[in-house]
A = this chain, B = another copy of it.
């Protein structure tokens, strides 16, 4: 981990962990409100599925379940409901008839776009309230953070505003 670092770096790391945890509360709250604000009442898992289908393109059921980290049977029933709601489209792979090809419909993508726009608007509002001289540093710091994490295989599908355990 970090056992090769001098003590002052450990202190800086601890301080940053605290800052990250605090900022996380804000981000979680923003994500939750963005989802709650739209007209189409979607559950959090349903929205996560739509995000995966919208950003990742057509996938089969097993692949979708893996990206959502749920059991294939769970994913199947969610697909059933979202399909009935006209937000997800099912088709059969002509090459391999075992496979089911899943994709978001225009309506489903529209919902994802609405929530995303609202979330970005909320973040923009917060960022606009920050002192200007902090913004450049924040951009660099957050990008460095994402890069450092990216080297550890972060799963992008987790980005959905999932209700979180305890970011307290």
Contacts and interface: CB of A to CB of B under 8 A. Distances in A.
Interface of A: 1-2, 5, 9, 12-17, 19-36, 40-48, 50-52, 55, 69, 81, 84-85, 112, 115-116, 119-121, 123-132, 134-152, 154-156, 158-168
A150 B166 CA distance: 18
A156 B48 contact: no
27 contacts: A2-B124, A12-B135, A17-B123, A19-B146, A20-B27, A26-B149, A28-B28, A28-B156, A28-B158, A28-B161, A30-B149, A32-B161, A32-B162, A33-B155, A33-B159, A35-B159, A41-B165, A42-B163, A51-B165, A52-B166, A55-B168, A81-B168, A129-B151, A130-B147, A138-B144, A138-B145, A141-B142
Copies of this chain in the oligomer: 2
Contact of A2 (B1, B45, B128, B152): B128
Nearest to A70: B163
Q: Is the interface of A mostly helix, strand, loop or mixed?
A: helix
Contact of A112 (B52, B154, B166): B166
A138 B128 CA distance: 17
A35 B85 CA distance: 31
A130 B144 contact: yes
